[in-house]
Structure 1
Amino acid sequence: MHRLKVQGVPLILKSIVQLLHFGYHQAMSCLFPVAIFGTLALSNVVHLPFIYRYDAILLVLLGVQYFLYRSGLETRDEIKVICLFHLIGLALELYKVHMGSWSYPEPAYTKLFGVPLYSGFMYASVASFMCQVWRRLRMDMTGWPGLASAALLGGAIYLNFFTHHFIPDVRWWLTGLVFIVFRKTWIIYRVREATYRMPLTLSFIIVGFFIWLAENISTFFNAWKYPNQHQVWHLVSFSKISSWFLLAIISVIIVAQLKYVKARRVWGD
């Protein structure tokens, strides 16, 4: 019995070291999302007399993005992806606010049709995390369904965010298609010298859950409000996890395809 315990100690220590390295890279990949939540929290309690809150948030986040790029923590390609997601997210925000799904009640100079421009960064933060963790954990994929299948499914998911307001919501059908299309797709990631893998659909669920947690934090700090939160804050509906699950898919599809295109360009395939 004593011998088994002694032999097990190095394995336990190795597992702890691996976990610490994995946690470090995850934490570093979350720098921009953490900056967003920190700014939302601080601006909710510290009120500057000479600038609106939403305008201040935008300036801070632009500064954070500049710092991350100049410090080398984000690459030029990652900045391009983040800008793309900012535009995708802003378009969705403009539509959702117009349809009354949620609102931004505070005044600001940098609001477009009731939507503060900083809101796109909340979607861009998902892209920032995806890009960072992909590079830091040297990620790859096996069983990728190909551009046509992935792009068509991602486009249908994004379109459903708009169309479900006037035709039946097909998110559950789309969720079923996700499990079918990506049934053979695995994420390969590396921590130090070890290589691990997990089903891509499982990563969608994990990311969707944590974005839902982030959404609760954001609404608590008045980043935006759902109709039932104007008088008293309430926990965001668990059904929103499915929305973020689908959004995570769009993020992975775009990031993975861009990484694939860049790899082909580098290797000259």
Structure 2
Amino acid sequence: MRALKQLVRFGWEQALSCLFPVVIFSSLALTQVVSLPFLPRYDWLLIICLLMQWWMVRSGLETRDELMVITLFHFIGLSLELFKVHMGSWSYPEEGYFKIFGVPLYSGFMYASVASYLCQAWRRLKVELVKWPPFLVVVALASAIYLNFFTHHFLIDVRWWLSGLVIIVFWQSWVTYEVGGIRYRMPIALSFVLIGFFIWIAENIATFFGAWEYPNQTDTWSLVHLGKLSSWLLLVIVSFLIVATLKQVKGKSSTGVETSQIH
């Protein structure tokens, strides 16, 4: 029963941390079945995301520091979207006034929602890092992963080499978190895989509701290829490394926790 209670507590904290992504998915579903007046669907999604972001800061659910992190992710994601759509990796076939080179501005919030989840979960679960690699190593690795999303269209795709490098760099690293006053720990690499897997599930839901469209989904919806899981895994790693680095810069991370407290 104690383990079950802890699992419920953990699930509740995770659900609260996912508030922004839940609103995005709910909006995708709503606008798919209900035709809203005056504006195209993509523009309504942008308005909903902006209002949600304003409300989260206004209500205190997100701090101004977290808002800056989320805004950074918005621009990082939007830059990636502009390039990928230009290269034909996926498309946004519906009309919209607030589109840049075929990319609706609301798309950046889908990346920002990942950052929102990470920031919320970090604060709610009192996340701390154990044996975190040196700053320059983390920055170089995150930069290489992000750049590979662009360069693999012209040069060799080194995602699997980068994935192996992640395992080597973070082999001894752990993330610790608190649930109900008890601290637990998990290998960093495992947390990357778990978050990436659930984002892949979320991607299937998003494409089902027409958030965007892969070339193989033009005629009818189909499951997102499992190969995309590696892309999301690397994107999660970049996201986590950015958030962790910014947390460390702000002095909110710790380098260790007493072993006796870890379960």
| Band of TM-score, shorter chain | over 0.9
Q: Which has the higher contact order (CA 8 A, sep 6+)?
A: 2
Give me the whole-angstrom Cα distance separating, in 2, the residues matched to 1:208 and 1:93: 18
Q: 1:226 aligns with which of 214, 235, 250?
A: 214
Note the C-alpha offset of 1:14.
1.6
- CA 1:238–1:144: 2 relative to 1, 3 Å: same
* Counterpart code for 2:73: F
The equivalent of 1:42 in structure 2 is 30
Note the C-alpha offset of 1:147.
1.1
Q: Please tell me whether Structure 1 or Structure 2 has the larger radius of gyration of its CA atoms.
A: 1
Please give the residue correspondences for 1:110-129 in structure 2 after superposition, counting only pairs within 5 Å. 110-129=98-117
Give me the whole-angstrom Cα distance separating, in 2, the residues matched to 1:233 and 1:100: 17
> Secondary structure of the residue that 2:167 maps to in structure 1?
helix
* Counterpart code for 1:215: E
> Secondary structure of the residue that 1:263 maps to in structure 2?
coil
The equivalent of 1:3 in structure 2 is none
The equivalent of 2:261 in structure 1 is none
1:31 aligns with 2:14: no
Give me the whole-angstrom Cα distance separating, in 2, the residues matched to 1:139 and 1:261: 15
Give me the whole-angstrom Cα distance separating, in 1, the residues matched to 2:178 and 2:230: 28
When normalised by structure 2's length, the TM-score is: 0.95
The equivalent of 1:190 in structure 2 is 178
Give me the whole-angstrom Cα distance separating, in 2, the residues matched to 1:175 and 1:97: 24
Residues 43-52 or 256-265, more deviating:
256-265
The equivalent of 1:100 in structure 2 is 88
Note the C-alpha offset of 1:18.
1.1
Give me the whole-angstrom Cα distance separating, in 1, the residues matched to 2:7 and 2:210: 34
Give me the whole-angstrom Cα distance separating, in 1, the residues matched to 2:58 and 2:157: 43
| Identity across matched positions, percent | 61
Please give the residue correspondences for 1:1-269 in structure 2 after superposition, counting only pairs within 5 Å. 13-263=1-251
> Secondary structure of the residue that 2:220 maps to in structure 1?
coil
For 1:47-75, what per-residue CA distance to the aligned partner results, in whole angstroms no more than 9, with x for missing partners?
A: 12311000000000100111111111111
Note the C-alpha offset of 1:90.
0.1
Note the C-alpha offset of 1:264.
6.7
- RMSD over aligned CA atoms reads 1.0
When normalised by structure 1's length, the TM-score is: 0.92
Give me the whole-angstrom Cα distance separating, in 2, the residues matched to 1:60 and 1:102: 23
Residues 69-78 or 51-60, more deviating:
69-78
Structure 1: gaps (5+ residues): 1-12
For 1:89-145, what per-residue CA distance to the aligned partner results, in whole angstroms no more than 9, with x for missing partners?
A: 000000000000000001101000100000001111110000000000000011111
Give me the whole-angstrom Cα distance separating, in 2, the residues matched to 1:189 and 1:226: 36
Give me the whole-angstrom Cα distance separating, in 1, the residues matched to 2:121 and 2:65: 14
Structure 2: gaps (5+ residues): 254-263
- CA 1:230–1:247: 2 relative to 1, 3 Å: same
Note the C-alpha offset of 1:164.
0.6
